[in-house]
Structure 1
């Protein structure tokens, strides 16, 4: 088989600690990036770019943020959508109130605002964990959305609370077409995903995993749980904040509190559960699964019933099938889609010998 690592020798620790130590993985990643950066913009329709690929990328980034907190640091959160809202409104207000504010700088500042809010709501994690921490972060979801609605300064005193996002302009180039928005979103997601992959392999990531596995033992060996937990909340909220700003600017085109409701938080949680908790790759797989499966079910239902299915019944059937598939998948493979890919790679590396 092509997927073999025999003869690939490592002559230094640096080579051995690469993100993709096997040559086939590096070639495969280069091919995948070439497809998404070059082939997809050439052949994909505007519908695929705007309605499918862009939300998959944005949700993947938000799922990476939640995975850092829940998968790597072991802190359960139900407030991901609220931190996305902070990032979106932060970027909007920075661009609105500071003349000449570059979009990328506003994006980073919006993420930093989300990080500060995440640290504030992460303080209860120093005393509580598990279900009780999830309830505390759920309070963040309701409080932040309420604050954004109650204080109209955040929405520039809009009577409806729904405001149009400013035009994205970088170095004089207006990103106002689906192709340009897709390429911008893809570039940001790739860079942040690479940073996240390196971060979880660093000393900081190992501290997160030590606190996740056994916080008392981690404290005994010199790890400070307070610093580890709050840093996880900060980094996770930063990623969610950047995802929220992209969600408003490159996908919705509007900045509104209701776009970041509790359903979105649960959707992001389902993404990391299905894709794989504690896996960067799983965040992408879970986001693709959650976004694409309802579309596939919708097409499948209309094909089976030849378009004669009532709209209300069709949507309910989609929800039933969608929920049933999620439960079935969690029973069959509780470690997510990323685990299936890992098992497939292990079998390919040893084929045709038994594993």
Structure 2
């Protein structure tokens, strides 16, 4: 009996049990991955891996998730990711500074909510404009918010350099300032937010976002609240980016500086969702791994081939050329990103008859991974 016939027979005899088994089989790889991330990696990882690779990888994946909810699922163009990250970082810093009794996790959540409120304000033009014009308005917000944080000393507690050191990281009296502690704090936040996002995109809100993304006029005709859907996407996306910004400042850099969240950061996050795949939760992690590891790989290859004779500026230019070429390639050849490639490869490796229906390559239709 073939595998397809076996599954059909199982469904006929005990459809509920068969569905539970298939759900368990899909969840098992993710459970093993989380076990490795929470148990094995803290025991085997080095300070270099935590500080230079794992922590920035997780935070950039979280920022990519925020932008992906806004662009990949709701179809709202944005170049204000850096501004949302800076808002979350400064908001969390001031909450910890001025309300020291608030626990760190609550401060992170509140900082994200404040960034979400700013995202709603930035998203108001989306009710009237779309596409390039909306992109330009979010770009203006990026420059405006960056200027405000640098101009007004209250946000940085009147530091002369507009840059302040992050407060001590501790939860329930446990010091998290070590590389392992910062990694576990970041990993916990990323896993929790990603799980909520995965449920959200499958909910009625997520379906409304998809309808607005595909055609907002048709969505309005069938009764989808277009304005509320757009603003909710800006709120959720900016809130997630705000938490990512706070983690970037506290768990990675150890300092809060608006210059760390400039336009380059917004483009970097956009590259993550283009390379990883728009409309895919797992694509954010794939794209972040690509963006974080590629510069390290290029540096290692340069040192091996040229013995360190390549100037750092030339190496940075080569990285930009490689990024640009890859972005163009993905936009032309594989607009659904690496997540779609991974899903098709996984489908080919599975036994015949268990792969399920084929999905199209449109961004937003590749989100079954994760």
Normalised to the residue count of structure 2, the TM-score between the two structures is 0.90
Structure 2 equivalent of residue 151 of structure 1: 152
Q: 1:185 to 1:332 in 2, by over 3 A?
A: same
Structure 1 equivalent of residue 258 of structure 2: 257
CA deviations 1:159-212 (Å, max 9, x no partner) are 100100101110000101000110110011001000000000000000000011
Structure 1 equivalent of residue 364 of structure 2: none
Please say if residues 4 and 354 of structure 2, whose CA atoms lie closer than 8 Å, have aligned partners that are also in contact: no
Please say if residues 294 and 322 of structure 1, whose CA atoms lie closer than 8 Å, have aligned partners that are also in contact: no
Deviation at 1:113, TM superposition (A): 0.6
CA distance in 2, matches of 1:15, 1:94: 49
CA distance in 2, matches of 1:280, 1:182: 20
Structure 2 equivalent of residue 61 of structure 1: 62
The question of 1:164 aligning with 2:165 is answered yes
Q: 1:203 to 1:15 in 2, by over 3 A?
A: farther
CA distance in 2, matches of 1:47, 1:180: 14
CA distance in 1, matches of 2:291, 2:316: 15
CA deviations 1:221-273 (Å, max 9, x no partner) are 11111110000000001100010111111000001111100000000001001
- SS of residue in 1 equivalent to 2:350: helix
Deviation at 1:310, TM superposition (A): 3.0
Structure 1 equivalent of residue 196 of structure 2: 195
Q: 1:5 to 1:319 in 2, by over 3 A?
A: farther
Return 5+ residue gaps in structure 1 as ranges.
Answer: none
Deviation at 1:352, TM superposition (A): 9.8
Structure 1 equivalent of residue 48 of structure 2: 47
Alignment of 1:277-292 (within 5 A): 277-292=278-293
CA distance in 2, matches of 1:278, 1:228: 16
The question of 1:173 aligning with 2:174 is answered yes
Please say if residues 5 and 22 of structure 1, whose CA atoms lie closer than 8 Å, have aligned partners that are also in contact: no
- SS of residue in 2 equivalent to 1:100: coil
Structure 2 equivalent of residue 242 of structure 1: 243
Return 5+ residue gaps in structure 2 as ranges.
Answer: 359-370
Deviation at 1:351, TM superposition (A): 4.4
Q: 1:329 to 1:129 in 2, by over 3 A?
A: closer
Structure 1 equivalent of residue 334 of structure 2: 333
Structure 2 equivalent of residue 347 of structure 1: 348
- SS of residue in 2 equivalent to 1:154: helix
CA RMSD of aligned residues (A): 2.3
Deviation at 1:302, TM superposition (A): 1.3
User: Would you say how many aligned residue pairs link Structure 1 and Structure 2?
Assistant: 350
The question of 1:217 aligning with 2:218 is answered yes
Alignment of 1:14-93 (within 5 A): 21-93=22-94
Deviation at 1:24, TM superposition (A): 3.0
Normalised to the residue count of structure 1, the TM-score between the two structures is 0.93
